[in-house]
Chains A and B, each alone.
Chain A
Amino acid sequence: MKTKILSVFALALFFAGTPATGTYELGDAVNDFTLKSVKGESITLSKYADKGAILIFDCNTCPYSKAYRDRIKGLDAKYASKGYPVIAINANDPQKSPDDSFQAMKDYAKEHGYEHAYVQDADQSVAKAFGATNTPHVFVVKKENGKFILSYIGAIDNNSRDASAADKKYLEDAVDALLSGKQPETAKTKAIGCSIKWKEA
């Protein structure tokens, strides 16, 4: 009996110490990560984020990413100073999508005057941990007692085609709520996007 309890205890300890193997859910504390940016910096979530961060799985090639490009730049301009900078993460396999190579990312960021961090998830581990599936796919984390709590998953707004016609700004509403100490009213949304180009298993 004693051994049984002990082994259950050991098992519980084992699982507690193991990073989540599934994907994060809303309310989960996410693991820290470090990815290389197009400006040559190492971006570590815990160092880069102040009150939180807006993580956007993004790329050079998807028409939806292109349609949202200026809006993504605008989000960083608006929220970085409030403690929620944008980290755009490109997880596409450059073998499958050559125009998403690190060099292509550098060129693209320069051409479009990116002020926000644009990083490569070269082994796709961050995209997998978050359960990112498409681009642009947004995840907002909020810093609480040194941990980063996943607080919003989904779309930027409800009109990819036309920013001026978007009358539901899901992401901005979520970040504004977090900034005022509330939980986002709508914490999960969905949008059509390009699938992330996964490496062949």
Chain B
Amino acid sequence: MIKTFSTIFLLILASYSIHAQSVEVIKYAGLDNLIKTKSEKIEVINFWATWCGPCVKELPYFEQTAKALKDKINVNLISIDYVQDLEKVNKFVARKEIISKVYLLDEIDGNTWIDKVEPSWSGAIPATLIINHATGEKAFVEHELKEGELEKLIEEISK
């Protein structure tokens, strides 16, 4: 009996871990790779954190757009939560059933990397970088996106 229970429990645990992605911890080099690696798709890179209200509010737009335009865009969600909060981020991602790839950027000194992402970025989040590798064009916004705004930005950069 106990055996059956534990088997069921393990099965549940296994299925849970199959569905929930585990957040990948990266350093700036990993982020730089995401920004620079040529891709046929439009790369959308969003900077957020679990504690950032406006960021959490706009996340569903990224998820919806990623689904709707899955052949055209690739969404990367870069959490800047502290690395010791990794478990919290993993739980958040599982609870919200986030399908877009989530990374945690483990870089504490913003002064060393913020300008490399975008010189006009003050460091406030949410912030979103959109890259069209085919044309070399980039778009950057440093505010909470409203419904429909992301699609519009993608459309403009796709021209």
Contacts and interface: CB of A to CB of B under 8 A. Distances in A.
Interface of A: 63, 133-134, 137, 154-155, 158-161, 165, 168, 170, 189-197
Contacts of B121: 190
21 contacts: A155-B111, A158-B109, A158-B111, A158-B112, A165-B108, A170-B111, A189-B111, A190-B110, A190-B115, A190-B122, A190-B123, A192-B110, A192-B123, A193-B124, A193-B125, A194-B125, A195-B125, A195-B142, A195-B144, A196-B124, A197-B54
A154 B111 contact: yes
Nearest to B119: A190
Interface in B38-54: 51-52, 54
Where chain B touches its partner, the secondary structure class is loop
A192 B142 contact: no
Q: How large is the interface on B (under 10, 10 to 19, 20 to 34, 35 or more residues)?
A: 20 to 34
Where chain A touches its partner, the secondary structure class is loop
Given A63-B51, A161-B82, A133 B109 contact: no
Interface of B: 51-52, 54, 80, 82, 84, 108-112, 114-115, 121-126, 142-144
Nearest to A155: B111
A108 to B, nearest CB: 17
B123 A158 contact: no
A42 to B, nearest CB: 29
Given A168-B109, A197-B54, 19 more contacts: A133-B123, A133-B124, A134-B122, A134-B123, A137-B122, A155-B123, A158-B109, A190-B111, A190-B122, A191-B109, A191-B110, A192-B80, A192-B123, A193-B123, A193-B125, A195-B54, A195-B142, A195-B143, A195-B144
